[in-house]
Copies of this chain bind each other. A is one copy, B any other.
Amino acid sequence: MCDHVSMPSKSRAENRVEQTRAIQQTARRHLAEVGPAALSLRAIAREVGLVSSAVYRYFPSRDDLLTALIVEAYDELGDAVEAADSAVADRDDLAARFHALCHAIRDWARTNPHEYALLYGSPVPGYAAPDDTVTPAVRVSGAFMTLAQAAERAGRTPIATLPVSDAEKAALAPIQGFLDAPIDDTHLLRWLMAWSTVFGHVSLELFGHMHRGVLDYDEHFAQVVGQLTADLGLSS
């Protein structure tokens, strides 16, 4: 069955994976309690059952540990968003896909408020995100843009769009460059607005700015998404 007759102990490689995971999981729990700025290698080591210097075998510095947490969070959110989109059986039901996308973002954020704050809240002072974070970070906005392109192909165009200045067209050029085929700039503007509205809503909600104003966040978000769906011309 196995290569070796009996194996009470694990291989070095297995242990390394396990320890790395244990450290990162503990770090993530601490993140929720003290925030990224106060994340302490020593406290994490203590909880994992290591001496503080041993952590350096796994992460060369505190900042690298933070980077690992950021990448993990972006990937989780990216997975959630892409899975929600893929779960819509009728690929041509763009309203359903948009709905799934928006709610996946908010659901993940509500389940993981501290990770959301790490990604979309205040930048961590003294920490500069390395390039490794770019690819995972871009998955969510990528999902928006994929949907925007699908809508454009399907001839579903946003409503009541205003003409866009040449300066704005130039400003949006990088985004157009990422797309397989360019989109009408007035349409792209509405998609970017939807992106801002969704993240604005989630941030305002999670960071406590809707307190005393809105009673039912679920219902309100659903209505907002509904209006966005209509604005984007996706309603059936």
Contact = CB atoms under 8 A, between A and B. Distances in A.
Q: How often does this chain occur in the complex, in copies?
A: 2
A220 B172 contact: yes
Interface string A214-236: 11110110111011101100000
**A interface, over-half SS:** helix
A35 interface: yes
A208 B167 contact: no
A34 B126 contact: yes
Contact-size category for A: 35 or more
B122 A193 contact: no
Given A125-B35, A167-B219, A171-B214, A196 B207 contact: no
A196 B201 contact: yes
B204 A125 contact: no
Interface stretch (A5-13, A19-27, A88-96, A155-163): A155-163
Given A37-B37, A117-B121, A120-B207, 5 more contacts: A129-B208, A168-B223, A192-B224, A200-B203, A231-B231
15 contacts: A38-B125, A122-B207, A141-B213, A159-B159, A162-B223, A162-B226, A167-B216, A168-B219, A192-B214, A193-B228, A195-B200, A196-B200, A198-B200, A200-B203, A231-B231
The 8 closest A-B pairs by CB, nearest first: A200-B200, A121-B122, A171-B216, A196-B200, A35-B125, A117-B122, A37-B37, A196-B201
